[in-house]
Amino acid sequence: MDKNFVPKTVEETVYKTWESGGYFTPVIDPGKKPFSVLLPPPNANADLHVGHAMYVIEDIMIRFHRMKGDPTLWLPGADHAGFETQYVYEKHLAKQGKSRFDFDRETLYRDIWNFVHENRGKMENQLRRLGFSLDWSRNIFTLNPNVIKTVYASFKQLSDEGLVYRDSRLVNYCTKDGTGFSDLEVLYVERNDPMYYMKYGPFTIATARPETKFRDTALAVNPKDKRYKKYIGQTLQIMGLLGPVSMTVIPDAEVDPEFGTGIMKVTPAHDPHDFELGKKFNLPVTPIIDFRGKMDFSWFLNQPDIDPKYRERAEKYHGKKVAVVRPLMVEDLKADGLLVKIDEAYSHRVGTCWKCGTVIEPLPLEQWYVKVEPLAKKAIEAIKKKKVTFVPKRFEKTAKQWLTNFHDWNISRQNVWGIRIPAWKCTACASWTITDGSVPSSCYSCGSDAIIQDTDTFDTWFSSGQWPFATLKATKQGDFDYFYPTSVMETGYDILPWWVCRMLMLGIHLTGKVPFETVYLHGLVRDGKGQKMSKSKGNVINPLEMIDKYGADALRMALVFGTGAGNDQSLAEDKIRGMRNFSNKLWNIARFLSLYLDKFGISEFNQLPPYAGNRRKHDDQMTSAVTELTKKVTKHMEKYQFSDAANAIYEFAWHTFADQYIEQSKPLLEAGDKQTLATLINVFYAILTLLHPFMPFITEEIWSKLPKASEDPLIISSWPGSKQS
């Protein structure tokens, strides 16, 4: 054996041996219960980050069950990541001085497709570099035609059942990225903004958004507020920057009398609360801000006989961004004597785009929605009946809380990149025709052929929410019947509501079964000081750089060692270096044993004394200790206590086996005791086997260097103590 273990020289070769040997592909056996895990599909548009390296938890489970003899499937895939990929591609275009508006829909889609597939191969090779034993023969993409077919069929079924509907309501719209988002995708930040106090007829109102006053349709007060009780129901003439308008005072129990002046302007087109209030009082929904984030005064400028003063103002505001118009308005409010004061220290939560940080604009838009309550009820019931369990258990309560409080789900996105919604609007009767993906020749309601397909695509979470059954229906014949429900869904706790809960809702409703039996949630990977990693802080750990420096096994073990399920972890380079040292320790043990094999002239396993033969007390102690270790590690593995399992193997290998048993055995080996050598080697084989799911490369390489009873690679060797022969 070489003096040093150099990961770079063996990892690629070892992985190719595994993959070309077909060891990642399960053999379906109807007589055995399978073990299956679906890889949470990484975005196909970019390189992996250290969070993706947490897939090591899944690889540990997969290798463990494969070695136990279970038909074991780990299915890989890539996510088209609709909005996020389009966002990344637009940044790519911007570097070339272009934008998405320079292309027609078909061209833009094709160009993004090419861009994604150039990057997808890189990402998949990075998964290989981490040693992940994925069944690449079943590799699938969320835009696979068979996956799309399932997504379309699901949409049609939900529509036929009355669980999908179209409605015009306020959406969380990013005017920069040009799409709406669900409530879960809005990032709220604390911000200080000026609070403007303005005269409104006989009242003074306080608002942080004076620009929406042009589309105020009422004033609201708390019905218990004695200051304003007499005004409820009255219609008043309110002087504004563009002339007088009529407004009615309406009651609203949610108005806080202590906030501002206790009276609130109502703008149904730009505030979710006001929108609901507007429905109750039949108020018009007329936006003043368009989908580009610009003020739109065309409705006013198109009126005849406008006072020149007001026309000049409207022209000054028209077509400009909100941030530009607001100070202009403030100056005009001052000029008209309508500005009472400005409070510069108003702190409030502002919704922003989770990707680009632009302030979210609530805007009225027709969208497709899923009725969540009937689906969530089934998911909650499945959790209560333990059809699906959570590791750690505390996340069961969290899941039920999310499922209880979900709003109806907006599944429309204004992207080009994604699965286009199979719905056609009739320009003759205004009804919608929904299909299973087939293109209709005419309107299903009136028979007219004047139909136009919706330009929106599905929210990526809608398609990926069907990942467990959509993939297994799209891979190999029989996969869905055999591997569904899958065994474990392993992912980060941060996407529990975004993805896990939605998979539960859609999977149970559309298949009649839970999509997975266990949910294992890992924590976030932070830097050595416990801070969130970010490029701006310069504290990001690149997994590929760590592999280049210390080897994949060291990174894998560092991510698992000392980290309980569901807990965030601080990952410093020192920890990875420490696990590299553990690799070196294993290599040195192997070299030590190899030295005595050569010394005794043993090149074949059968030249060693039988492992079960007569042994001295020293040999029995080693054998008993490794038997207890096997029981302990197996118990930890079955309970998803991977950190405890890793720690037990580490402690035994380094401190019990190397520091005690080998040291105690040296005089016996020097005396030519082959029985002790046989015991040491067999104990070491057990250690390598137990450690293989965690550190597959070095264990496989050592396994190949020492004489064994079988020439099979370690990846398919039996788990110690298992019934498999």
Q: What average pLDDT does the segment 271-281 reach? A: 95
- C-alpha distances in Å from residue 434, one per residue of 78, 147, 150, 370: 28, 18, 15, 14
For position 609, what pLDDT does the model report? Answer: 86
Q: What average pLDDT does the segment 417-441 reach? A: 97
pLDDT above 90: percentage of residues in the chain:
86
For position 588, what pLDDT does the model report? Answer: 97
Lowest mean pLDDT among 84-98, 365-379, 480-494, 645-659: 84-98
- Category of 293 on φ-ψ map: left (φ > 0), alpha (ψ -120 to 50) or beta: left
CB 339 within 8 A of CB 197: yes
Residue 686: other Cβ atoms inside 10 A? 22
- For residue 615, name the pLDDT band (cuts at 50, 70, 90): low
For position 181, what pLDDT does the model report? Answer: 86
For 512, list phi and psi in degrees, rounded to 5.
85, 0
Closest among 39, 56, 38, 19 to 543, alpha carbons compared? 56
For position 616, what pLDDT does the model report? Answer: 76
pTM surpassing 0.85? Answer: yes
**Residue scoring higher pLDDT (534 or 485):** 485
pLDDT exceeds cutoff 60 at 613: no
pLDDT exceeds cutoff 90 at 66: yes
For position 345, what pLDDT does the model report? Answer: 84
Q: Mean pLDDT for the chain?
A: 94
pLDDT exceeds cutoff 50 at 714: yes
pLDDT exceeds cutoff 50 at 725: no
- For residue 120, name the pLDDT band (cuts at 50, 70, 90): confident
CA angle (97 as vertex; 93, 98 as ends), nearest 5: 50
- pLDDT tens-place string over residues 332-349: 999 999 999 999 889 999
CB 409 within 8 A of CB 367: no
Closest among 631, 656, 496, 645 to 563, alpha carbons compared? 645
pLDDT exceeds cutoff 60 at 590: yes
pLDDT exceeds cutoff 50 at 498: yes
Scored b (16 or more CB within 10 A) or e, 356-386 reads eeebbbbbbbebbbbebeebbebbbebbeee
CA-to-CA distance for 430 and 432, rounded, in angstroms? 7
For the record, the structure tokens of 677 come out as 């050598």
- pLDDT tens-place string over residues 182-199: 887 899 999 999 999 999
Radius of gyration of the chain (CA): 32
Q: What average pLDDT does the segment 529-541 reach? A: 70
- For residue 1, name the pLDDT band (cuts at 50, 70, 90): confident
For the record, the structure tokens of 67 come out as 């070695």
For position 182, what pLDDT does the model report? Answer: 81
pLDDT exceeds cutoff 80 at 614: no
pLDDT above 70: percentage of residues in the chain:
98
Q: What average pLDDT does the segment 475-504 reach? A: 96
pLDDT exceeds cutoff 50 at 585: yes
- pLDDT tens-place string over residues 155-177: 999 999 999 999 999 999 999 98
pLDDT exceeds cutoff 60 at 535: no
- For residue 536, name the pLDDT band (cuts at 50, 70, 90): low
Lowest mean pLDDT among 179-193, 465-479, 584-598: 179-193
Q: Label each residue of 256-285 as H, E or C.
A: CCCCCCCEEEECCCCCHHHHHHHHHHCCCC
Place of tokens 């065309």: 298
CA-to-CA distance for 61 and 72, rounded, in angstroms? 10
